[in-house]
Amino acid sequence: MTEQIALLEGLLGGLRAAAELSRLRLLAICAQGEWTVSELTQVMGQSQPRISRHLKLLAEAGLLERIPEGSWVFYRIAQSGEGAAMARALCRLLPERDAQLTLDRHRLAAVRESRRRQAEQYFDARAHHWDSERELGVDVARVEAELARQFEQETVPSLLDIGTGTGRVLQILARHIGSGLGVDLSRDMLAVARANLDRGTTRNCQVRQADMYHLPLPNQAFAAVTLHQVLHYADDPLAVLAEARRVLQPRGRLLVVDLAQHEEERLRSERQHRRLGFGDAEMARWFGELGMVEESVARFPGERLTVVMWVARVPGQTLGGEGREQRSKAA
C-alpha cells in the first residue's frame, strides 16, 4: 500500500509540474532534441530566469533530464523511469494543430537551421585541411588501423559513412567493402571527398549531399554504418543514431568513433563542437533504446583527449560467438 501511495504521489507531482502552458510547451520542445537554456528562451520568447524556473520544476518531477556538460547544461525529455513514461504520454496528448505549439516548432526549426548554417560555414572554410584538424592530439594511425581491422573480420557488402567529410573513412575501408556511400551536408567537403576518391583506388565508393537527420535512403539498405568524429556536432545525437539504425540491415553493425567525455571548452567556440564527448554508459543506453547490442568499446588515449570506438549490432542471427559480445578495451 505504501508503494502504491508513493506511485500516486509521484504521478500527482508530475501532473502538477506539467499543469502550466509554458511547461507543456517546454515538454514538447525538449521531446525534439537536447537544448540549452539560451536556445529555449529564443523559442519560448520568455526571460531566462523564468525558463530556468520552469525547467527546474519539470526536472524535479522527473519529466525532463538535466545534463550538465562543462559550462553548458542541456535539457531533454526524460529517457527512463515513471517520469519518462508520463512525459511521453503528455506529449502524445498535445494537439498537433495548436497555434502556439506550431509557432514553437517553427522557432525551433529556425534555431536549428541557424546553428546548422554556422556549422556548415565552419566546415566549408576548413574543407581542404580538415583531416589534420580532426587529429586533436590523438594517434590517428592507431584509430584508423582499428577501424580497418573491424572490417577485415567479416564481409561487408555495403557501407554508409555519415558525415563523411573529406571521404577519409571510405578511403580506409574501400578494399574491405563491396560498395560505400558517404553523405555530408557541406558541398565543399564533398568536393574534396570526390577529389580524394578519384585519386585513389576507391571506384567502389561515392558521395552525395544529405542531412544526417533525414537520410534520403531506404530502410535496411546497408550492412554497416560509420559515424567518425561526427556525433559531437549533433544537436540531437540520439536522432542521428536512430537514422543510422533505420538504414541498417539485420545483423548490421554501427561503428561510432568519437571523443570520450572531456572538459575542453575551447572546442565549442574554436571548432563548433556541440557536445564535449560522450560517456560509455550514455552510448550503451542509446544503443539499448534503439534495440542494438553493444559488441565492443576500444579507447585510444591522446595527449589531452581520448578517442573511443563503440561498436554495436542490430540483432538478427547469432552474433557469432561469445567473444564478440565481450566489451574490449584497447590501451
Task: Give the per-residue pLDDT at 114.
Answer: 76
Helices 99-125 and 21-30: crossing angle, nearest 10°? 40
pLDDT of residue 318: 38
Sequence letter at residue 171: Q
Residue 117 lies in a domain: yes
Q: Does residue 149 sit in the same domain as residue 117?
A: no
Structural domain contains residue 85: yes
Of 71, 98, 124, the residue at which a domain comes to its end is 124
Q: What is the pLDDT of residue 131?
A: 56
Domain boundary among 94, 124, 154: 124
Residues 192, 307 within the same domain: yes
Buried b (16+ CB within 10 A) or exposed e, 119-150: bbeebeebbeebeeebebebebeebbebbeeb
Rounded Cα–Cα distance for residues 18 and 24 (Å): 6
What is the pLDDT, as a whole number, of residue 322? Answer: 36
Contact between residue 22 and residue 54 where contact means Cβ atoms under 8 Å apart: yes
- Tell me how far apart the alpha carbons of residues 186 and 165 are, in angstroms, rounded to a whole number: 8
Judge whether 330 lies within some domain.
no
Using CA atoms of 187, 214, 284, 223 in order, give the dihedral in degrees to the nearest 10.
Answer: -80
Distance CA 32, CA 112 (A): 11
Q: Are residues 114 and 177 in the same domain?
A: no
Query: Is residue 21 situated within a structural domain?
Result: yes
Q: Could you write out the DSSP letters of every residue in 89-109? A: HHHHHS-TT-HHHHHHHHHHH
User: The domain that contains 253 carries what CATH number?
Assistant: 3.40.50.150
What is the per-residue DSSP string for 107-118? HHHHHHHHHHHH
Run of H or E residues at 317? none
- Strand 35-36's sheet: what is its strand order? 35-36, 72-77, 64-69
CB 207 within 8 A of CB 197: yes
Residues 220 and 267 in one domain: yes
Whether 319 maps to a domain, the answer reads yes
Could you write out the three-class secondary structure of 67-92? Answer: EEECCEEEEEECCCHHHHHHHHHHHH
35 and 12 within one domain = yes
Q: Examine the domain organization and report whether 191 and 306 are in the same domain.
A: yes
Cβ–Cβ < 8 Å for 249, 315 = no
Residue 86 CA to residue 240 CA, distance in Å, equals 24
Are residues 201 and 102 part of one domain?
Answer: no
| Cell representation of residue 195 | 577529389
Question: Which of 108, 124, 140 is a domain's end point?
Answer: 124
Q: Please choose, from the candidates 272, 240, 275, the residue with its C-alpha nearest in 3D space to the C-alpha of residue 70.
A: 275
pLDDT of residue 325: 38
Decide if 331 is inside a domain.
no
Structurally, the chain folds into a number of domains equal to 2
Cell of 133: 584538424
Q: Cβ–Cβ contacts within 10 Å for residue 2, how many? A: 6
Residue 67 is predicted with a pLDDT of 82
Domain around 78: 2-124
Domain co-membership, 30 together with 156: no
* Distance of alpha carbon 102 from the chain centroid: 25
Residues 142 and 252 in one domain: yes
Same domain flag for 197 and 264:
yes
What is the pTM for the complete model shown? 0.67
Sign of CA dihedral 181, 187, 193, 194: positive
Positions of the chain with pLDDT lower than 50, given as ranges: 129, 132-133, 318-331
35: left (phi over 0), alpha (psi -120 to 50) or beta: beta
pLDDT for the residue 327: 36
Q: Residue 13 maps to which CATH number?
A: 1.10.10.10
Q: 153 and 251 share a domain?
A: yes
* In a shared domain, residues 273 and 136: yes
CA distance linking residue 29 with residue 280, whole number of Å: 26
pLDDT for res 49:
94
